[in-house]
Structure 1
Amino acid sequence: MKVSKKTRIIAILSLVFLNISCDQISKSIVRKTIEPYERIEVLKNNFVLTKVENTGAAYSLGSDLTPVLKILVLQILPILVLLLLLRLLLIKVNYSKTTIIGLAFIIGGGIGNLFDRIVYGSVTDFLIMDLGIIKTEIFNIADVSIMTGSVLIILSTFLSKNETFFTQKTSIHELD
């Protein structure tokens, strides 16, 4: 079934907006209810809520930059990259559904964190997981969106390459 261009664009923008909304609502709740560095153990030490304001990017990278460089690297550059990704996603129609969803998640998560940097001067991080083999640094819902989107794109790429590999027909004469 072919979907109209308008329906496709509305679906993509809705998915991006849903990711932004989940991120911003969760951060708003955390900002209002959790004190900085307060530890709330949800599942013993395995899942902890806290609140940290990160003035840099992942792992606080860039937090030591000068104000001008910080605006350039942590705001202007991400705006350009997110606009480029959104443009590609809305214009190019031959992406798989999984890739489209993955890109929408990445864009939504990126906008969520970018919004924080521009409006608050920092990104609110508040989740920590420790499941033994899987232990995270502090993160937020935007980070979950970005990671989920990345995994979806990797899976989509891997599956499409496997599909191509397994569906290629080679005649015995081509092997000579």
Structure 2
Amino acid sequence: MVLNKNLTTALVVIITIAIDQISKIWVRGNFIYGEEKEVFGQKFIMKYVENEGAFLGMGSDMSPLLHFIFLKLFPLLVLGYVVYYIFTNSKLDRVSLVAYSLIVGGGVSNVFDRFIHNKVTDFFFIDLGGVFKTGIFNVADVAVTTGLFMLIFSNFLFKKKKVVVTE
């Protein structure tokens, strides 16, 4: 089955950004900062926080210049390279194309928040007990993580004939 690379990429990126931004707007409009709501008991909680740093708040105490370089400019350059890679690599299989598109969509949405709000809205928290406890995250983080796992599975676990997505 031949898929249109441009359409697939655009749809995945736009839908990812839309779901992430709508969820963040909803949380900011329906939660008080720091408020928690149980979704599935104490296992899955929504808690509204604003993250001025990167993953788990790392870098939130950087100077404004370093904050700009490492949390705005560098991610933007990396995302630009990933977009370039998508459109110049004629041998991308479907799974990899969707994976890279999820990474771009999630990354663009969080970088957008950093440029517009100077922080990122996070609100999901999972605690399955023991060592499995997450930091607070958002839909964009889920998209990026899902994309990374898809790439790992596509490239290392499934050594099968790949279907190439064409222009």
TM-score of the pair, normalised by structure 1: 0.86
Identity %: 36
CA contact (8 A) 1:15 1:104 kept: yes
Alignment partners' CA distance in 2, 1:95 and 1:132: 38
Corresponding residue for residue 58 of structure 2: 61
Unaligned runs of 5+ in 2: 162-167
Q: Which of 121, 134, 145 is the matching residue for 1:147? A: 145
Unaligned runs of 5+ in 1: 165-176
Q: Which of 125, 128, 136 is the matching residue for 2:125? A: 128
- For residues 146-173 of structure 1, the C-alpha deviation after alignment (integer angstroms, 9 at most, x for no partner) is 110000000001134x448xxxxxxxxx
Alignment partners' CA distance in 1, 2:54 and 2:125: 17
Corresponding residue for residue 45 of structure 1: 42
1:62-101 matches, within 5 Å, as: 62-101=59-98
TM-score of the pair, normalised by structure 2: 0.91
Q: Which has the higher helix share?
A: 1
Which runs of 4 or more aligned residues in structure 1 lie more than 6 Å from their structure 2 counterparts after TM superposition?
none
CA contact (8 A) 1:12 1:90 kept: no
Alpha-carbon RMSD across the aligned residues, in angstroms, is 1.4
- What SS class does the counterpart of residue 151 from structure 1 fall into? helix
Alignment partners' CA distance in 2, 1:95 and 1:11: 12
Alignment partners' CA distance in 1, 2:105 and 2:129: 29
Q: Is residue 2:114 matched to residue 1:117?
A: yes
* Paired residues, number: 160
- What SS class does the counterpart of residue 90 from structure 2 fall into? coil
